[in-house]
Amino acid sequence: MIGGSDTLSPGRIVEQRASRWVSLGAFHFTGTPTVTLTNATADGTADEDVAWDAVAFQPLPGKPNNVVVGMGDSYSSGEGASDPGGDNYYPESDYVGKAGGDKVRDDCHRSTYAWSRRAVLPGEQLSTGELDDNWSARMDYHLIACSGARHYNILNTPQAGELPQIKQGYLDQNTTLVALSIGGNDMAFADIIKKCITSVTDVCQNGSISNRDPDTEDKTDGDTPALKDWLPSWAHNAIRPRLVKTLNALHEKAPHAKIVLMGYPRLLERSGQCVVGIGTEEGPWLNDMGDLVATEMKGAVDDANAQNQDNAVFADPRPAFAGQAICGDPETINGIVLTGHAKADTKPVSMKSFHPKISGTANYAKAFEAALR
pLDDT in tens, 218-249: 999 999 999 999 999 999 999 999 999 999 99
Does residue 330 have a cis peptide bond before it, meaning omega lies within 30 degrees of 0?
A: yes
Which residues are 331's β-sheet partners?
A: none
Beta carbons of 170 and 9 less than 8 angstroms apart: yes
Q: Which long-range contacts link 111-114 to residues 24+ away (Cβ below 8 Å)?
A: 111/77, 111/78, 111/79, 111/81, 111/82, 111/361, 112/78, 112/88, 113/78, 113/81, 113/82, 113/88, 113/358, 113/361, 114/70, 114/76, 114/77, 114/78, 114/81, 114/143, 114/145, 114/361
Cβ atoms within 10 Å of 37's Cβ, excluding its own: 10
Cβ atoms within 10 Å of 175's Cβ, excluding its own: 24
Beta carbons of 71 and 150 less than 8 angstroms apart: no
Distance of CA 103 to the CA centre of its chain: 22
Single-letter amino acid code for the residue at 101: G
If you count them, how many residues does the chain have?
373
Segments making up each domain of the chain, as ranges: 64-372
pLDDT per residue, tens digit, the chain (373 aa), is 999 999 999 999 999 888 899 999 999 999 999 999 988 777 777 777 777 778 999 999 999 999 999 999 999 999 999 999 999 999 999 999 876 655 689 999 999 999 999 999 999 999 999 999 999 999 999 999 999 999 999 999 999 999 999 999 999 999 999 999 999 999 999 999 999 999 888 999 999 999 999 999 999 999 999 999 999 999 999 999 999 999 999 999 999 999 999 999 999 999 999 999 998 999 999 999 999 999 999 999 999 999 987 899 999 999 999 999 999 999 999 999 999 999 999 999 999 999 999 999 999 999 999 999 9
CA distance 24 to 10: 10
Interior angle at CA 113, CA 107 and CA 117, nearest 5: 110
Superfamily of domain 64-372: SGNH hydrolase (3.40.50.1110)
Q: What is the pTM of this model?
A: 0.96
